[in-house]
Amino acid sequence: MKLSALLYIAASACVSFTTVLATPCRGDFDFQLQSGDDDLLLANLPSHLGGQATFYRAVTGRERAVVATNYPVGGHPAKPLEIAGDFSPNGAVYVFSDLTQAIKWGDGWSKGLPDPKWYLVTFKYTPITGMKIKSFSSGTAEWKTFVNANYQSGGTSPYDAVEGPVSHGSGSTLAPYLEGGNMVYEAGFMNNGLKSLVVTSVATRTAGGGEWCKGFTGAERSLVSKNYPVGGHPAKPNEQAGNLSPNGAVYVFHDLQQALNWGDSRAKLRESDKTWFLITFKYRPVSGLKTKSFSSGTSEWLAFIKGNYKGGTSQYDIVEGPIEVSGKAYIENGNMIYEAAFMNNGLKALTVTAVTPKVGGGKKWCEGCNIL
């Protein structure tokens, strides 16, 4: 059974076992780089500092020991160490706007360590009066000069917050780091900018830890704290037939982006309240689990799904396989989409590690998918 599969793929870039701050990607890695006039071919990064926003930071390495002091829930982050980085010559709290990037960063800097634990810190950002902000939408000549100067000049940053692309290289080779042909957004907060951030949650994570996630939408939102207590097991689901169980299951993805797509898409369909919750689980097998796996959309897989909608009680604790749409495995970008269902004793194999509120509004995704 493939239940050892990871929810998130660890980033192969910028892995350092001593550095603790989010400084740029440097070293001999196989990155896509963009420089010179070719920068104009890239889509500009949006600004996230003009209004309220949610940001994420991966706390790794030695900073883990002071996570409670530096990132008190309900309070502002502490003043960072005075270490030069992309956007400040004397330290900043660096964050991502994309949850996936923060998780890749945390996993990438923690995988392979004797203790691969790290912390995902979530912030609510609200601009405050008088903030001095500088924004870069791409890797322009001004951006390159600014970033290089922060590593060379020393001194004190005159800004409260700076946003722009993550860098790779240094000096004449400095360029935006590209992932999938796109620049990656980061922001650095310093000085009075620290007061614009409020820590909303600190979640413990483990690099390569066999984690799973679920998009929590609709009427079930009112039961989120009861059904998914952090540190506990998920509650028994409603006895509603689904693809992999005739009498209810907790359905999860092992790909974070799929869970985000699902939650955003389902929340978008509601005209008023578009909030939903991203639930993250830690999976640990327990003895005696009865499991069933489907690696593709076989005739056995389809017959199993059809049988589940006829009623009855599941004889399994965990079932995994591709999502079904119109009698076939759903394909996205040439690949099947994986789901797993946990029921009966399988619920004891899941521990809730984080519950993150989100707001929907993304594009429609996987129309016809029957995921509960």
Predicted TM-score (pTM) of this structure? 0.53
pLDDT over 70 at 271, yes or no: no
pLDDT at residue 19 above 80? no
Split at pLDDT 50, 70, 90, the class of 32 is very low
How far apart (Å, rounded) are the C-alpha atoms in residues 97 and 54?
Answer: 7
Residues facing 162 on adjacent strands: 134, 188
Cβ(33)–Cβ(39) below 8 Å:
no
Task: Give yes or no for a contact between 160 and 20, defined as CB atoms under 8 angstroms apart.
Answer: no
Which one has a higher pLDDT value, 128 or 107?
Answer: 128
pLDDT band (50, 70, 90) for residue 266:
low
At 44-55, the pLDDT tens digits run 999 999 999 999
3-state secondary structure 185-229: EEEEECHHHHHHEEEEEEEEEECCCCEEEEEECHHHHHHHHHHCC
What local confidence, expressed as pLDDT, does residue 151 receive? 86
Helix axes 256-268, 99-110, angle to 10 degrees: 170
Reported confidence tier of residue 221, pLDDT bands at 50, 70, 90:
low
Q: What is the pLDDT of residue 24?
A: 37
pLDDT in the model for residue 105: 84
Q: Residue 235 corresponds to which tokens in the numbers above?
A: 């509650």
pLDDT over 90 for what percent of the chain?
39
pLDDT of 6 over the 80 cut = no
Average pLDDT in the 114-125 region? 88
Mean pLDDT, all residues of the chain: 79
Alpha-carbon distances of 16 from 21, 27, 333, rounded to whole Å = 10, 10, 32
pLDDT at 357: 82
- Rounded CA separation 124/116 (Å): 26
Tokens of 261: 């797509």
Specify burial of residue 94 (Cβ count, 10 A radius: 0-12, 13-18, 19+). Answer: buried
What's the CA gap between 62 and 236, in Å, rounded?
39
Residues 6+ apart with CB under 8 A from 294: 300, 301, 304, 319, 320, 321, 322
Query: Quick one: average pLDDT of 65-79?
Result: 95
Q: What is the pLDDT of residue 255?
A: 79
pLDDT digits (tens, 9 = 90+) for 123-159: 999 999 999 999 999 999 999 999 999 888 778 999 9
Cα–Cα distance for residue pair 264/360, rounded to 1 Å = 4
Cα–Cα distance for residue pair 266/262, rounded to 1 Å: 6
Cβ neighbours of residue 98 closer than 8 Å, sequence gap 6 or more: 56, 184, 185
d(CA 122, CA 276): 16
Distance CA 25, CA 125 (A): 25
User: pLDDT band at residue 262, thresholds of 50, 70 and 90?
Assistant: confident
Residue 272: pLDDT band (50, 70, 90) is low
Closest CA to 123 of 202, 205, 215: 202
pLDDT, residue 194, reads: 98
Asked if residues 48 and 97 have their Cβ atoms less than 8 Å apart, the reply is yes
Query: Do 118 and 207 contact (CB within 8 A), yes or no?
Result: yes
For 9-18, write each residue's pLDDT tens digit. 111 222 222 2
pLDDT of residue 279: 86
Query: 280-330 pLDDT, tens per residue?
Result: 888 888 889 999 999 888 999 999 999 988 889 999 999 998 888 878 888
Instruction: For residue 331, list its beta bridge partners.
Output: 336
